[in-house]
Amino acid sequence: MKTGILDAPHAAIVDLVDLSLPEQDGSAAHALARARAFAEPLLAGQLFDTGENALAHADGVSQILLGIGAPPSLRAAAYLVYASEYLTPPDEVIGRAFGPDAAALVAHTRKLVQIQRNARDSLGDDTDGPLRAEQVERIRKMLLAFSRDLRVVLMRLASRLQTLRHYAETKLPCPKALARESMQVFAPLASRLGIGQIKWEMEDLSFRFLMPDTYRSIARSLDEKRLERERDVEQVRRTLAEALAQAGLQAQVQGRPKHLYSIWKKMQGKGLSIDRVFDVRALRVIVADIPACYAALSRAHEIWRPMPDHFSDYIARPKPNGYQSLHTVVLGDDGKPIEIQIRSLAMHEHADSGVAAHWAYKEAGAKGYAGVQVVGEFESRVAAARKTVLRQLLAWERDLAAADETEGGGPAGHGYFDDRIYVFTPDGKIIDLVHGATPVDFAYTLHTDLGHRCRGAKVDGVMVPLNTALQSGQTIEIVSAREGGPSLDWLNQDLGYVRSPRARAKVRAWFNALAQQSTIAKGRELVEKLLQREGKTAVKLEDLAADLGFRSADALFDVVGKDEFSLRNIEQLLRPAAPEQDPDQVVAQRIARSEAELDRSGNGRGVLVVGMDSLLTQLARCCKPAPPDAIGGYVTRGKGVAVHRSDCSNFRQMAGRHGERVIPVAWGQHAAAQSAHYAVDVLVEAHDRPGLLRDVCDALAQGKTHVVAMNSQTQRDHTTITLTVQTSDTARLGPVLARVAQVNGVLKARRK
């Protein structure tokens, strides 16, 4: 469609609403008149990309929906869907004029139309071959559209049939991709929904466009024998009608029409010539109720001889789409076979209109399928109707996928949608889940809190374990506790409680929040004890956290509880600052203390500063050097010489800014002694799994390496472990890290 008909959409809509018919009685029929009056100025003169007049197409869709028993509210929505193409913004304008239900229906239909249009444009004009991925995805979207509102699917079927009628009436060439899609997707969908009236006409029109020569050949042969066939059918029809009347049965006896596509399929499937197919005469008998159906069958078998192998009782055993009827074949007085279908009036309505004429759908109208809750027994009947229809859609999808893969040489029975399942809540709401999902996944999809409190589940009324894999079409009921949280076992993938990544993330988030609460409580306790020791209990914790640069007290408690923030920082804040000393004097004092300690111990210094004697040195914490690392010295202000590894990024940056402070240093005799130990950071990257930290620590212990500190961080399934170990020689770390790298799940082990 082409948009842009209105230059000032809002002003024009106000005029249209004001000029539209006043809704005095509020009837559905009046709403239909309002919708057409609303759409007519917008659609008049507009053409679709198929060449159809927009208003004529909407009128045709409305008439088709009327023919299958759709309510006036759905017929009204057909006009609003096409009018929405010329509104800005359509949802807001239609919602204001016709209510939120109509706006939601229009939005869902527009989305499905766009998906179908985009996918069909990429198909080309191939007429043979299996369904492509784009078509399969469109079928999936149709299922999802139904889960929101069945009326969307009914309108799309009616719209497609109207488009095929347009090409037939105008004799314009129909795009093969559109006809093929109608034959392979829309007609089987109508069949599964039980809408025979749309199914037969759509198949005949698609057959006409895809195989025009074969269609014309059958049509000519049918026309040539029309008079003879109609005379024979009328004779047997009158005979059966009189016999039923004599038996006291009120019945309508009709000649059943033969569709060209069904004739061609019968010829192909049974290898029959066209003459033999045409010789089969067909009658349809419509009576009041089921007992009358069997009475009429008995009377037909009395006047004609039945063929035993050609009787089907679809009343006792209905077809999957709900179709019910008695089918029999008898031999007439001339020895020619006569096909007879016997059904009640209700069965006949369902055979023509399917779910569109279903009592639950008619009574529910817009409410039962648009998310508005109804109550009592009626709500349960509407929910049952929705479940029945969706099961038919899913069965259709499986049949379609199996047939297509069989034609293409693939394994029959393997559905296109094996990665998704569709289940129900007790009130009939449809839930879309990943294949293999469990009741726990179902609970988390409904609500996070329900997932946390899930303790059991009923599948179709039967209690099942929480790790049971669900199947499409099942009804799931969750048994929950009033309060509580998930089980840690749910994160164990081997136990199979949770299959959905979304549900697994919610379970992990719950345990992370629980651990954080414990850490905050621990940090609060430590800070409060410190305040008691310092006699500062009157200090407000939020103010203390703000003074230390934290956004809240809990943020302070969190880092204190993790030992990532020293309590000395709080002590220094609480205590008065000592007067600053001369930096040179501080350095001299430290040097003196260091020399005294070394003299008492009798050991040489660990680090020698080349060209200087007795200068205070300290090992940098950023890179933690240890023998025999290449090292360099940096003269700090007030803290002597800081010794860094030569490849330390901090050391390189400081040397670049203040090269005059860099001095040569080397390891002394004390550094080489076996009794000297240095702290070194080690980084381990691995896939997260139970027992990982234990196995890493065991590998370090086997290498006689002492761990003094450890910290781990996990993101999704990836864990980073930082360990501080003691060693006298970094060369000894090589074999130890190689041992750690062999631990199951470890990706990398190296010095930090």
Instruction: Kindly give the pairing relationship between strand 462-464 and strand 454-459.
Output: antiparallel
Please report, for the chain, the start and end positions of each structural domain, with discontinuous segments joined by +.
9-214, 221-360, 420-492, 510-574, 583-672, 678-751
CB neighbourhood size of 656 (10 A): 9
Question: Whose structure tokens read 């004092």?
Answer: 589
Query: pLDDT-derived band of residue 441, with 50, 70 and 90 as boundaries?
Result: very high
Give the whole-angstrom CA distance, residue 642 versus residue 632. Answer: 8
Instruction: Kindly give the pairing relationship between strand 326-331 and strand 337-344.
Output: antiparallel
Q: Which of 412-416, 430-434, 530-534, 681-685 has the lowest mean pLDDT?
A: 412-416
Q: Which residues pair with 641 in a beta bridge?
A: 617, 635
Give the whole-angstrom CA distance, residue 267 versus residue 263. Answer: 6
Q: Helices in 665-748 by DSSP H: which ranges?
A: 669-672, 692-702, 733-741
On whether the CB atoms of residues 47 and 7 are closer than 8 A, the answer is: no
* Residue among 139, 171, 172, 170 nearest 156 (CA): 139
Give the whole-angstrom CA distance, residue 467 versus residue 519. Answer: 32
Integer CA distances (angstroms), 508 to 59, 487, 493, 503, in order: 55, 10, 13, 9
CB neighbourhood size of 145 (10 A): 20
pTM value?
0.48
Integer CA distances (angstroms), 369 to 135, 142, 390, in order: 26, 15, 13
Structure tokens at 578: 């000592």
> Can you tell me whether residue 724 is helix, strand or coil?
strand
Phi, psi of 524 (to 5 degrees): -60, -45
Bigger pLDDT: 153 or 56? 56
Q: Which residues pair with 389 in a beta bridge?
A: none
On whether the CB atoms of residues 426 and 380 are closer than 8 A, the answer is: no
Amino acid 566: pLDDT: 84
Torsion sign across C-alpha atoms 260, 262, 268, 271: negative
Amino acid 391: pLDDT: 58
- Write down the CATH number for the domain with range 678-751: 3.30.70.260
Amino acid 443: pLDDT: 93
Amino acid 177: pLDDT: 80
Amino acid 59: pLDDT: 93
CB neighbourhood size of 719 (10 A): 21
**23 backbone φψ class: left, alpha, beta (φ>0; ψ -120 to 50):** beta
Query: pLDDT-derived band of residue 263, with 50, 70 and 90 as boundaries?
Result: confident
Q: Which of 4-8, 491-495, 592-596 has the lowest mean pLDDT?
A: 4-8
Query: pLDDT-derived band of residue 20, with 50, 70 and 90 as boundaries?
Result: very low
pLDDT exceeds cutoff 50 at 603: no
Give the CA dihedral 188, 194, 199, 200, nearest 10 degrees: 130
Amino acid 366: pLDDT: 34
Give the whole-angstrom CA distance, residue 722 versus residue 711. Answer: 5
* Residue among 731, 735, 736, 752 nearest 685 (CA): 752
Q: Which of 105-119, 410-424, 576-590 has the lowest mean pLDDT?
A: 410-424
* Residue among 353, 349, 364, 363 nearest 68 (CA): 353
Cβ neighbors of 175 (< 8 A, separation 6 or more) are 125
CB neighbourhood size of 25 (10 A): 8
Mean pLDDT of all residues in 42-64: 90
Give the whole-angstrom CA distance, residue 386 versus residue 423. Answer: 11
> Can you tell me whether residue 612 is helix, strand or coil?
coil
Which top CATH class is 9-214?
Answer: mainly alpha
Give the whole-angstrom CA distance, residue 103 versus residue 77. Answer: 9
- Write down the CATH number for the domain with range 420-492: 3.10.20.30
User: Which helix H or strand E contains 456, and what residues bound it?
Assistant: strand 454-459
On whether the CB atoms of residues 460 and 474 are closer than 8 A, the answer is: yes
Phi, psi of 721 (to 5 degrees): -115, 125
Mean pLDDT of all residues in 336-361: 71
pLDDT exceeds cutoff 90 at 568: no
Integer CA distances (angstroms), 607 to 632, 649, 665, 672, 732, in order: 10, 21, 7, 10, 20
Give the whole-angstrom CA distance, residue 638 versus residue 618. Answer: 12
pLDDT exceeds cutoff 90 at 471: no
Amino acid 732: pLDDT: 80
Amino acid 350: pLDDT: 76
User: Which helix H or strand E contains 285, and what residues bound it?
Assistant: strand 281-287
What CATH fold (topology level) applies to the domain 221-360? Beta Polymerase; domain 2 (3.30.460)
Percent of the chain with pLDDT over 70: 72
Give the whole-angstrom CA distance, residue 447 versus residue 444. Answer: 5
Buried b / exposed e over 394-405, threshold 16 CB at 10 Å, is: bebbbbbbbbbb
Bigger pLDDT: 270 or 181? 181
pLDDT exceeds cutoff 70 at 610: no
Mean pLDDT of all residues in 615-623: 80
pLDDT exceeds cutoff 90 at 454: yes
> Can you tell me whether residue 668 is helix, strand or coil?
coil
> Percent helix, strand and coil across the chain, each rounded to 5?
55, 15, 30
First to last CA, the chain: 63
Query: pLDDT-derived band of residue 450, with 50, 70 and 90 as boundaries?
Result: very high
Amino acid 702: pLDDT: 83
Q: Which of 25-34, 464-473, 723-732 has the lowest mean pLDDT?
A: 25-34
Query: pLDDT-derived band of residue 235, with 50, 70 and 90 as boundaries?
Result: confident
* Residue among 752, 748, 703 nearest 723 (CA): 752
Model pLDDT for residues 295-319, shown as the tens digit of each residue: 999 999 999 999 888 889 999 998 8
Structure tokens at 617: 């040195």
Give the whole-angstrom CA distance, residue 487 versus residue 311. Answer: 58
Query: pLDDT-derived band of residue 581, with 50, 70 and 90 as boundaries?
Result: low
Give the whole-angstrom CA distance, residue 182 versus residue 206. Answer: 7
Integer CA distances (angstroms), 335 to 328, 330, 597, in order: 15, 9, 126
Mean pLDDT of all residues in 284-291: 92
Tell me which range, 326-335, 379-388, 402-411, 502-511, is most confidently predicted by mean pLDDT.
502-511
Structure tokens at 258: 């033969």
DSSP structure string for 203-227: HHHHHHHHSHHHHHHHHHHHHHTHH
* Residue among 590, 599, 597, 604 nearest 636 (CA): 590
Query: pLDDT-derived band of residue 341, with 50, 70 and 90 as boundaries?
Result: very high
* Residue among 15, 746, 131 nearest 397 (CA): 131
On whether the CB atoms of residues 425 and 446 are closer than 8 A, the answer is: yes
Query: pLDDT-derived band of residue 451, with 50, 70 and 90 as boundaries?
Result: very high
Q: Which of 254-258, 333-337, 464-468 has the lowest mean pLDDT?
A: 254-258
On whether the CB atoms of residues 338 and 281 are closer than 8 A, the answer is: yes
User: Which helix H or strand E contains 441, and what residues bound it?
Assistant: helix 439-446
Structure tokens at 678: 């240095």
Amino acid 224: pLDDT: 55
Amino acid 464: pLDDT: 93
